[in-house]
Amino acid sequence: MSTQSNDLSPGEHEPGGKSAADRLKTVAVAAMSDTKTAGRDAGIQPTRGLVDMAMVERIVAEWPKMAQKSAREILGKYGAPNEAVESRLIWYENGPWKRTICYRDEIPHHFPNPHSDTLECVIDYQVPLEKVSEVLKFDGSVVVERTAGEVSSRCDMEAANFLALNMVHEIVTGNMTAEQARDFLTETAAAYVVSRSAPHAERLMFDVPTGETSEKDHTTIAGAVVRQAAGKIKDVVVG
């Protein structure tokens, strides 16, 4: 009777399609990349050039009506985008925003009224861990990127994103609960629609952080790799 060994040579592929050597190499490259980016700007870097407006018009002309409306609002206010593909337009460092993205594809959203989320506005902002759940409870179209140190709001117009991010700040600073912020947003959005005073929908009511907002967390894998390597040796010996 023949026996089949479970031993694998260093370059032989294991389940999952990669050898242990390949996987360790990936971990090493990732660690080197982290070291190289330390002490300098990391994350998404802005594109400085502008896209030709004729190309932008050709792209937007194929979009659904609401997506077109959102895109033309931002094009009218900030000019040509820095990047453009069939599914989105991207501006960097436009007005108060770190990044603004107009999407072709619409996401239905019913708070505070039925609409489609087509416009995302991003700022540098750190939400403390203990406040994240309250922020997410407030509005499902607000995204907290803890590692990147960013917060974004996605709605159908810039005014709605101003309003949502102002509410995020009120929640983080302890001035409002999620429910209070939802109530305030609802009333302010209605005021804005009928052209009453609605400053929270017109600008950011707080100073956007200019320092480090990213949260890199801490390394935990070193000891685990040693333990798993020992376990791997045991697997080979025991068979």
| In-domain check, residue 5 | no
- List residues bridging with 91 in a β-sheet: 100
| In-domain check, residue 226 | no
| In-domain check, residue 6 | no
pLDDT tens sequence across 152-202:
999 999 999 999 999 999 999 999 999 999 999 999 999 999 999 999 999
Domain count, the chain: 1
Looking at residue 44, its pLDDT comes to 84
| In-domain check, residue 217 | no
Looking at residue 87, its pLDDT comes to 99
Looking at residue 43, its pLDDT comes to 78
| In-domain check, residue 151 | yes
Place of tokens 């594109």: 47
Looking at residue 41, its pLDDT comes to 60
In this structure, the chain runs to a length of: 239
Q: What is the 3-state secondary structure (H, E, C) of 196-223?
A: CCCHHHCCCCCCCCCCCCCCCCCCCHHH
What range defines the domain where residue 197 resides? Answer: 53-201
Give the single-character DSSP code of 146: T
Amino acid (1-letter code) at residue 56: V
List the structure tokens of 170.
């009120």
- List residues bridging with 115 in a β-sheet: 109
Stronger pLDDT, 62 or 5, i.e. the higher one: 62
Looking at residue 224, its pLDDT comes to 82
153 near 121, Cβ under 8 Å? yes
97 near 173, Cβ under 8 Å? no
pLDDT tens sequence across 86-128:
999 999 999 999 999 999 999 999 999 999 999 999 999 999 9
Predicted TM-score of the model (pTM)? 0.81
d(CA 135, CA 180): 12
Q: Give phi and psi for 214, each to the nearest 5.
A: -70, 155
pLDDT > 90 fraction of the chain, expressed in percent and rounded = 69
Looking at residue 4, its pLDDT comes to 47
Residue 3 has pLDDT above 50, yes or no: no
- Segments of the chain assigned E as strands: 83-85, 88-92, 99-109, 115-124, 142-145, 150-155
Using CA atoms, how far residue 90 sits from 1, 101, 143, 196, 224, in Å, is 65, 5, 17, 31, 40
Residue 66 has pLDDT above 70, yes or no: yes
Residue 1 has pLDDT above 60, yes or no: no
Residue 77 has pLDDT above 60, yes or no: yes
Looking at residue 28, its pLDDT comes to 67
Looking at residue 144, its pLDDT comes to 98
| In-domain check, residue 68 | yes
Place of tokens 């009224």: 113
- Secondary structure class of 121 (helix, strand, coil): strand
